[in-house]
Amino acid sequence: MELTHWRQLVDRGPDLVLCLDFPGGRAAAGFADLAAGVPVDACFLHIGRTGSGSLDACVDRWVAEVLATDRPVRAVLGYCAGAALATCVADAVAKSGPPPVTLLFDAVATSAGSLANQFTTAVESSAAHLTADELAGALALAEELVEAYPDDLRRIAAALIDRYDALMGAVTGRLSLNEFFRQELTRGFTGYVEFLLLASDGRFDTRTGTPLFVSSEDQEPPVDGARNIALDVGHADLLREAEVHELVAELLTGERPW
């Protein structure tokens, strides 16, 4: 299966299961773990590089490529910020066929605070190579931006990317690394921020059917009155837990109504 916007995780059957999450690496378990552990005859695809343009334009591209395979879409899964994209993909798929099962794992909404938190985490991972003033200034900037522009996510994102790039310039200089490494570090952070911005234009409901939220301990759906299954598992292990794999298999096979 030659695809531009999706990458195959496993292929065990004709039906497609679409997975929406940031395509870069993460410390927590991801959809590759879930796809490997769910005993269902289906092909799991993970979104790749999201590309440019509005959310509607991106979703149209992603779904058009999937529909061109002539394989039915059985389910759409979203994780964290990607949950707000999964519902949009599910709606687009439903325009051409039965509404897919829509499962949202530890769904979170993108906000000024979440952008600042991701910046803080990224900067602190390089703290050993930053001066105390550089680190303190970066953390203060994140707080100031959230307070000054709580509803202007793109303005916050642009400022955080600029500061991150400057900080990575300092880090690579101290480590005697060339400009390529600085560009790669900034590109990785920029890609994640752009993914979060795209997700901020999404939503947590579908026009056909009702999504089911699956939440780990200490996590709650970002909307009131949601259909939610709360599990006694940690966030980092949610997608690799055997209990979750069994639940997903039951939902995808119809053994358990969704």
Please report the pLDDT score of residue 27 as a whole number. Answer: 74
Cα dihedral sign for 67, 69, 75, 76? negative
pTM for the predicted model, two decimal places: 0.94
pLDDT tens readout for residues 25-36: 777 899 999 999
Q: Give 193's Cβ-side CA count (13 Å radius).
A: 28
Distances (CA, A) of 27 to 30, 215, 236, 238: 9, 18, 7, 12
Cα distances (Å, whole numbers) of residue 208 to 6, 12, 30, 95: 24, 27, 27, 9
215 half-sphere exposure, CB direction, 13 A CA radius: 17
User: Nearest-CA neighbor of 35 among 20, 27, 25, 45?
Assistant: 45
Q: How confident is the model at residue 141 (pLDDT cuts 50, 70, 90)?
A: very high
Listed by start position, the domains of the chain span 6-109+204-253, 112-199
Instruction: In whole angstroms, give the CA distance from residue 60 to residue 197.
Output: 17
Q: Which helix (H) or strand (E) holds 17?
A: strand 16-20
Of the chain, the percentage scoring pLDDT greater than 70 comes to 100
Q: What is the pLDDT of residues 183-220, one digit of tens each?
A: 999 999 999 999 999 999 999 999 988 999 999 998 99
Q: Which residue has the tokens 């970066």?
A: 138
Confidence of residue 38 (pLDDT cuts 50, 70, 90): very high
Was domain 6-109+204-253 assigned CATH 3.40.50.1820? yes
Residue written as token pair 């979203």: 78
